[in-house]
Structures are given as C-alpha cells and as structure tokens.
Structure 1
C-alpha cells in the first residue's frame, strides 16, 4: 500500500489523564509502517513515567477500517537484498508490541470496521476492548501465503484459546466482533453509534483509578503468562510493598478513615 501525504499518521491528544492515540491514515485503510510503529513505541515507553498519562485509548478514523495491518514506509528504502535480511522487516512492529505488552498504563481499544494483520495485536493487546457490532476481523496471513509475525505467534496464544486461534489462523476466515465477544475477547460489544462514547467513558474511568496499582496489576498478570509460581509470588510481594509508598494508596487509607471520597492523582 502507498502512503499519501494527506495522511496525518498517528495523532496524540491528552486530556484529563486520558491519552487518545488515533490512527489517521485513510489512504492505507489505517495500515501503518515502520515510522508510525516507532511513534507508538516511543509513546508507550514514555507513558510509564508521564504524570499526565493515566490511561490510553487507541482508536482510528473512519467507519470502514480499524487497521488493516502493515503498510509501506513513508520513506521507502532499498528492499532487503537477501532472505536473511528480510527477517528484520517487521522489527519496528515487534518493538512496538513489546512496548505495548510491557506498558504500565491501562489501555482501551476502540474497534470498528475491518481488522486485519497486525491490527489484531493493536486491538487485543489492549487491557479492555470495545468493539462495534458487526466489525469484521480477518487474520489474513494465510491468505497472503505468510505466517503470523510481528509477535503474533507469542501474544495471540496467550489471549485466544488454542483451537479458536487455529481456526482463525489456519483457515483465514473472517469473524465478527459478535463471535469474538462470545469467545470472551471483547469487553464491550456496542452499536456503532455508541462506540466512541463507550470507549472514552471506560478510558476515563481507568484514568480515575490508582494508576500505579493498575500498572503493577496488569504487569503481574502478563508476567504470569511467562513466569513460574515462585517468581510471581516474589514479584507480587515486591509490588505490594512498593505500593505502600504511593500517594494514592495513602490517600485511599486516609479517605477511608475520614469517611470521604479519595482524591487520586495517579502517583
């Protein structure tokens, strides 16, 4: 896919603790290349220590597509010269999804239209998924004679039950958000007209929570998919101890003792 100069790429807007990351690339149907992947990566890495970011909303423009996967670079370079070189083509997207997986801020994805290729990871690596009824998800790799890449083979087996994943990946059939909701992959399945309001309301609710606690909780859940029992208990104990020093934890205790609503800052 070629990239138009009229595409804005990735827009980042922050208001009241919610960082809205909007893919605006209509010429590629919101498929994105290495430059946009690098922008995502940098934001995710920075967000862990930004006081103004307490939750993240990932969305895209238009009704037709959420994200159709990867796209050509905005600054085309010479094609890889050998098969060995081609192994590294997806590195920018791999780095992006690694940063998203390790992110200690809660993430909501707002999904409409068609989802394909790496769009699956962009949607499903969020902590909560809000999808429009009837939105269409196509895993697509088998249709292109490819294997899943950009981290797909690591992340999706940790999110989707194996036999369901095999059906998606080996047949390449399109499924709807309604079906994914039945499989337990969608948090909020709503009419298209309610999508934006539902997603931003959820992101705002998350932004009002004790941010540090949420970050450690999601980190532990994801870490548990890779670590053993003793490692997780040690990390859990360390996390619990660290939170005793947080401003939000002490504010919650004080508010409880004084019979008032806590005023949380995310610190």
Structure 2
C-alpha cells in the first residue's frame, strides 16, 4: 500500500490538510485513480461504498482547476441531496487550500441563495441533475467551459431514473472534456452510458480483499411512513440501546443512503 499522497502529485498543503483530518495513506482506488485523472484520462472506476472514491476524484480535480479562471471547470453529478452534501463537505475542507470556490446545487435549498452565490466566481459545482437543470434553464449556470465531469454513484443514479436528466446536462457541456464515472457496480446501463460519453476510458476496479460487513455489526431494517420516521427511530434506539450506531434513511421508494 502506498504510504503517502505526495507521490501521487498532491501538493504539500493538501497533504497537510488531509493529515489534519486523520487521512495519511491513499486507499487502493485513490492510488490507482488519482494519477489517471491527473494525466487527463477519462476514468471508469468500480469500487464499493466506503473505499474512498470521493477523494479519488476531488483531489486531482482540485489540483487541475485554475482559480484565476472565473468559470465552472469541475462538475460532480450525484443522485441524491445527501451525497451532494457529503461531497461538498469534503471539498469545503480542502478547496480553500487551492483557492477554488465550490457551490452545492441540490433540491431543498433556497434558490435565491444559490443564485447570489453564482454571481461570484464559481470553479467547482456539486449538483443533483434536476436542480442543476433548473439553473441551466435560467442561464444562471453555464457549462460551456467545463473541463472535468464526474458522474458519482452512476449505478444508483440510473437506478433512480435520472438518465434523461443526466443526458440533458451532458448536452450542455463541451464535447472536449474529461469524464470520470465512479460506481459501486457496473451494470449494463452504466457501461452503455460510458460508451456514449467517454473517450478511451481507463478502468479501475477495486475488489474487496476482506468482508466489508463485519460480524460484530448488527444491522436492522425499519419500515415506516415518512410521518412516522422520528417515532420509529426513537423507538428503535430505546429498544436496542446501541453504544455506537449509524442510521441510513431512504424515501419515496429510494434505496437508503
């Protein structure tokens, strides 16, 4: 396993910021994907959730974005608001080191607040497809100078029926751009999309070398209506009395995230 991010071409300031967050060694998907993305290649990466895919694409993107150019240069499309928030949180820790301005664009936010932020220089956008299309129709976001595009959790995005929206966004991006596709699985729909939008992609496939779900972790599923979520959660916590717990929630038939 690689011992540091420095051999991957990550600047010392970012390496220090990662270390402050307790991240010292790159994971396998980071070690393989970062050099390919830094080299300008289209990349198709398959790795399980929890393997560090987010840093695998945002670190080389931050290295390549020029903060002196006041245009959107990097775009990450995600299937859910929760994932957009998670990726943005990682970027907000790292982007100040590079001078890159980041904007999250997803449903449930105040549109006017987003519009005010877009009046300044935005270099990097993390978005869900539907809300980004709203801005594209308004003309408040322009992607004609976009140079790097990531479709994150592409299998989930297509599963949730975003293909038409993704294609509408792609139609407003330059033909000459770097495209990266990250996914936990690569079903036929994902491979077909890759053939349509990518140019000679390099492949990264990380297979788990150990069981991801540990026997010591108890997993429970609670089915409830939206209005009953809080009561069901409190009841489950009272009954299980966990020392540590993680809670994933889905809605409207969507998978829990």
TM-score, normalised with respect to structure 1 = 0.24
**Higher strand proportion:** 1
The structure whose RCO (Cα within 8 Å, separation 6+) is larger is 2
TM-score, normalised with respect to structure 2 = 0.24
